[in-house]
Structure 1
């Protein structure tokens, strides 16, 4: 099911650097495709640049160049995941036609098929039956054109073009631009294939300003939702509650969460309730229970976060390793830090797998 959009080229590559442009931290991985399977060679987590508006290609190029250098990568191919607030991902019923024609019809008639006018957007499509290439379907003999269910991703063309330009200015080759919302799906399919194919899963990704939930039913994406709640709001809420600075609140949240457990649980409770509403909606519509809740993002490494979400969802929540399906050839220092770092890399890993 590996999903990949906005490709700079269709040829599969031996290795790739994948970059997750987060709100607070940029996460990146360097993965090589070997005969025995994909191998994780390096990862990097760097402070994200602060921009008051959409950054220029030059500023992004400087940042990407620094990230690639920190990986000590010899790969010139770079793929990028964009944030949940920079892309739309939703299903649409489109006429059966080749994917390039689908892109064009969405460009001219987005309101008709997506119930939203999206001028200046570029689109890509993934037919639910997995037909993203190959020969075009045969034309029906009758006047009516049959339709099919298609997963659509869209982003502003100016932003996608800026990313491609920045990658090239950084001295690299542009690979895919992937919506960060769906990237963890690719990683999970590789990391836990049996669970992916057989169960109903909720993938929860905890971000800095936004969090998301994707529900998968036996490998098919059936529901997505983006929530304007993340680590930033929790830290700011703790700072306001305790009358301290943002930096002090962040230090307490990370270093002494047990001292402020009650306050932290209260601050994350709204996120838990919103996630519970999403799961309840799916279960009511499908008459099937969500059997596993898997959590990624920086917060997934904190035990109190998982406990707080379990309290609200009344169901077990666990962190997962997006590289479980990969071999690792990491430097000793990175191996030592791996357990705390791994949950943050689901978007970057999923983006890399979409390119290889």
Structure 2
């Protein structure tokens, strides 16, 4: 690969909204946000042409770039943290591909896999495909090496690759969304990342993902099949109420809608509480606050409900905390409303620029 560009577009190919950021790196390594955009998309694409059409619409608003880093949200993707004897990652990757059932309780022959030691920052090789999983991951012993194992279905990788080639902007980085979020938090809040235990809760459309880290190390990853789609169904009484009206009532803090919200969010809160308990039971550390991202994090009612249910502060975090902003006035005014959902796109771009 030739010399890396000093600017990059980071794309978050979500299951409901595509997000993108355009970042430039100055000579002194400072990062500058020069543009961002988002577009609502279907949950699934029938072909690479369909995907390319929506990517092109997003890129049209973001502008041109020589480099692109892509992050993927996919409920079928795989993420585990496993303990194995110290093994070269190429050897371990091949072993897991053919013997995944024994180690991961899942067949992996149809996945593109990547592996990285947990002691390294996630995705440090710049091409890791790492994703959510429905399972807990535990650290039992320090006598073995802990590895992050991530994968994406081969057909999905091909569809994305074909689509990016069609828009004439091949992705130099392909990662899964949770790892990008973890990487973005490292850049945005280095003191917390390197010196504390923390929980990142990303509220997606179909799934919500929990990432627990401690002193720079990814400790636990878990995803729950609950997100904005499920909450939306609850708020609209299975579409009996207009969706836009329901979300407006949530934004206004309507007491009746707040009760519906609390009932719906209780399942997610239980899963978050269980994950915190698991982490604190395994390590002599505590989680004191939860950092929330995703479109749902825009609603104070949702943040307050989660805080009440969990007994911990739930606060939004800004992936652009350490970045400069050089945006047109209209985009600058919109940024305070949009940054909560740019964590994954930022993480993908950060990974390209620091690799």
**TM-score in terms of structure 1 length:** 0.87
Asked if 1:202 is matched to 2:199, the reply is yes
| 323-332 vs 278-287, which moves further | 278-287
> Aligned equivalents of 1:229 and 1:311: distance in 2?
19
Which of 304, 314, 329 is equivalent to 1:307? 304
Distance 1:75 1:281 in 2: 43
8 A Cα contact 1:200 1:218, kept in partner: yes
Give 1:40 shift: 0.9
Aligned partners of 2:9 and 2:20 also within 8 Å: yes
1:290 partnered with 2:281 = no
Instruction: Give the Cα–Cα distance (whole angstroms) in 2 for the partners of residues 323 and 238 of structure 1.
Output: 31
- 8 A contact 1:78–1:167 mirrored in 2: no
Deviation digits for residues 256-293 of structure 1 (CA, Å, limit 9, x no counterpart): 64562222222222211221111112112223211231
In structure 1, the partner of 2:52 is: 61
2:18 aligns with one of 26, 33, 37? 26
Higher-Rg member (1/2): 1
Deviation at 1:255, TM superposition (A): 5.4
Distance, in Å, in 2 between the alignment partners of 1:229 and 1:125 is: 27
Unaligned runs of 5+ in 1: 1-8, 134-145
Using the alignment, how far apart are the partners of 2:296 and 2:43 within structure 1? 21
Kindly indicate whether residue 128 of structure 2 is the aligned counterpart of residue 119 of structure 1: no
Question: In the alignment, which of 34, 45, 53 is matched to residue 41 of structure 1?
Answer: 34
- The answer on 1:100 being equivalent to 2:90 is yes
User: Distance in 2 between the 1:177 and 1:128 partners?
Assistant: 19
Gapped runs of 5+ residues in structure 2?
Answer: 126-142
The 3-state SS of whatever aligns with 1:223 is strand
Is 2:264 aligned against 1:267? yes
Cα 1:28–1:258 change in 2 (3 A) is farther
User: Which residue of 8, 12, 23 maps to 1:16?
Assistant: 8
Q: Secondary structure at the match of 1:349?
A: helix
**CA RMSD of the aligned region, Å?**
2.2
Distance 1:184 1:155, change over 3 A: same
SS at match of 2:82: strand
Q: Hey, what does 2:186 align to over in structure 1?
A: 189
Measure, in 1, the Cα distance between the counterparts of 2:230 and 2:193: 31
Instruction: Normalising by structure 2, report the TM-score.
Output: 0.87
Would you say how many aligned residue pairs link Structure 1 and Structure 2?
333
Distance in structure 1 (CA, Å) of the matches to 2:205 and 2:320: 22
**Residue among 337, 342, 354 paired with 1:340:** 337
Distance 1:39 1:23, change over 3 A: same
Q: Distance in 2 between matches of 1:280 and 1:252?
A: 33
